Amino acid sequence: MVTLQKVHGSENSFFLLDETQLTQPLTKTQLATLTQRLTNRHTGLLGGADGVLAITDAPGTAGKMTVVNTDGSFAKLCGNGLRTVARYLSEKTGQTSFRVHTDFADLAVAKQPALAVGVPAYSAEISPVSFAPQALPFANLGTDRIVDTVLPAIHPHLKFTAVAVPNPHLVAFVSKEELAGPDLEQIGKRLNGKNPYFPEGVNVTFAEILGQDTLFARTYERGVGFTNACGTGMSATTLAFILTHPNQAALDRVNTVYNPGGMVKTIVHRDDGRYWIELIGNATVTATITLPEAALVDVNLQQAVIKSTGEQAAYERFVAALPHRALADTLTEGV
């Protein structure tokens, strides 16, 4: 038998699969097929999700995280997901501060004080960071560095910042009206379809500046579409905030980033000239799903036995007490 977890960070939800339970790891094709079925709002379980987080052994770290989007594409990183993987591996190994392996870096994670009763929290290192066109990649935009830059091919007046953390992000600071308007979806769909600018797609975030060190972020995700939160998106947005609004944000200072699913804290660090972002937020497990290994491999979900953990009620109490819920509630996606 195999047990998966339904998890979320800021209501950015995933199925977490520890593949070390399996007699042999899934192939990339099997993982992509499983993800497309399991996360589908109609054919999946528990109303679907925003992706699958697969854990495998990795020498020298507590484990490796692989991120699969709902469309079956693989992502270079997932910030909200990394916090839930950190919790899973912490509870599996008893460690509270360790590294998780990804194809691009071994990332530091740590258990943090709970955000509220019944709302466990973890921090996750978001890195490596690069502004280089080759890192996103982007092309045909008339520049090789996009920081606070108008890109007329994409929008007539918004100023964008493009950064890989290491998955690709395009960020713009907008008004409350723009945040809820049609442009984010239009740009997100266009740059994640066949286009000459971001050939591998890009996560697009619109953020409203609420005050010093305080943002509200909404993301149209590469390979997924709108989600309630995007951890790497909120991390990239905080870095862009510091670079483009230096009188309202600063390195090594705690930022609060609200999103339709809740809230995270971010701190941008710069060590030896290299940026990395510390992402702190909830790691909630809402259910466990148990089924025979053969059924999992064949994506035969009828035999799945689902058990609720009861944690979601505590998370909803925490979120209900947050400011900016009125704005969030107009933007929340089905979990």
How far apart are the C-alpha atoms of 65 and 85, rounded to whole Å?
7
Closest to ligand API by CB, 36 or 80: 80
- On the CB side of 298, how many CA atoms lie within 13 Å of its CA? 10
Q: Which stretch binds ligand API (CB under 6 A): 79-87, 127-135, 188-196, 327-335?
A: 79-87
How far apart are the C-alpha atoms of 45 and 291, rounded to whole Å?
12
Pair 275, 127: CB distance under 8 Å: yes
DSSP collapsed to 3 states, 130-187: ECCHHHCCCCCCCCCCCCCEECCCCCCCCEEEEEECCCEEEEEECCHHHHHCCHHHHH
Under the binding rule (CB under 6 A), the answer on residue 80 touching ligand API is yes
Under the binding rule (CB under 6 A), the answer on residue 203 touching ligand API is yes
Under the binding rule (CB under 6 A), the answer on residue 100 touching ligand API is no
**12 marked among binding-site residues:** yes
**298 — phi, psi (to 5°)?**
-85, 0
Pair 109, 125: CB distance under 8 Å: yes
From 34, 75, 154, 184, residue interacting with ligand API (rule: CB under 6 A): 75
241 is annotated as an active-site residue: no
Question: Which residue is catalytic, options 16, 77, 78, 240?
Answer: 78
**220 — phi, psi (to 5°)?**
-100, 110
**221 marked among binding-site residues:** yes
Under the binding rule (CB under 6 A), the answer on residue 223 touching ligand API is yes
230 is annotated as an active-site residue: yes
Q: Which stretch binds ligand API (CB under 6 A): 67-75, 131-139, 239-247, 270-278?
A: 67-75
**192 marked among binding-site residues:** no
From 90, 161, 205, 232, residue interacting with ligand API (rule: CB under 6 A): 232
Under the binding rule (CB under 6 A), the answer on residue 222 touching ligand API is yes
Tokens 């590294």 belong to which residue? 99
How far apart are the C-alpha atoms of 23 and 165, rounded to whole Å?
33
Tell the smallest beta-carbon distance from residue 177 to ligand API (Å): 25
Under the binding rule (CB under 6 A), the answer on residue 123 touching ligand API is no
Q: What residues numbered 18-57 form the site for ligand API, per CB under 6 A?
A: 50
Pair 39, 48: CB distance under 8 Å: yes
Tell the smallest beta-carbon distance from residue 127 to ligand API (Å): 13
- C-alpha to C-alpha distances, 65 to 39, 103, 130, nearest whole angstrom: 18, 9, 21
Q: Given the rule CB under 6 A, which residues bind ligand API?
A: 12, 50, 67, 69, 75, 78-81, 167, 203, 221-224, 230-233
Residue numbers belonging to the annotated binding site for substrate: 12, 69, 79-80, 167, 203, 221-222, 231-232
Residue numbers belonging to the annotated binding site: 12, 69, 79-80, 167, 203, 221-222, 231-232
